[in-house]
Amino acid sequence: MSANEITLTTIYEILKDHTLRFDRMDERFDAADKRADGFEARLDRFESVQNTIALRLISVETTVKEQSSLFRAMQLRLDSLHGLVEELERRTGRIEQEYVMITEALRRLEQRFDRLEADRLKERITALEARVQALETAQA
C-alpha cells in the first residue's frame, strides 16, 4: 500500500486524533465560558454596586441642593441682620453722643439754676431784711 492510500483504519486514526483535539478545544471553550460567566457575574455585581452608588449620589446631590438653597436664604437673612446691626450701632453711637451732650447741658443748667436760685434767695433775703428793718424802724 502506498502512503497516500486511504483506508478505514487511517480515517479512524485521523478521526480519533481530531476527536482528541476537539475534546481539548471543548475543554478550553468550557473553561473560557466559565471564566466569561465569572466575569459576567462580577460585572453584574459591579453594576449593582454602581446603581446603588448612583442612587446615593443622587440623594446626596438632592440634599446638597436643598442645603444650598437653605444656606442662600440664611446668607440673605444674615446680610439683612448685619445691615440692621450696623444701623443700630450707628444709632446707638448717635444716642450716646446725644446723652453726653444732654448730660453736660443738664450740668450747666443745674449750675446756672443753682446760681439763679441763690441770686433769687439773696434778693428775697435782702428784701425781707429791708422790710424787717423798715418795720423795726417804724416801731422804734
pLDDT (tens digit, 9 = 90+) per residue, 80-129?
A: 999 999 999 999 999 999 989 989 988 888 888 788 888 888 899 999 89
Model pLDDT, residue 3: 65
How much is the pTM? 0.42
CA distances from 95 to 23, 86, 102 (A): 104, 14, 10
CA distance 115 to 123: 12
More confident residue, 119 or 62: 62
CA distance 51 to 85: 50
CA distances from 62 to 24, 51, 69, 86 (A): 56, 16, 11, 36
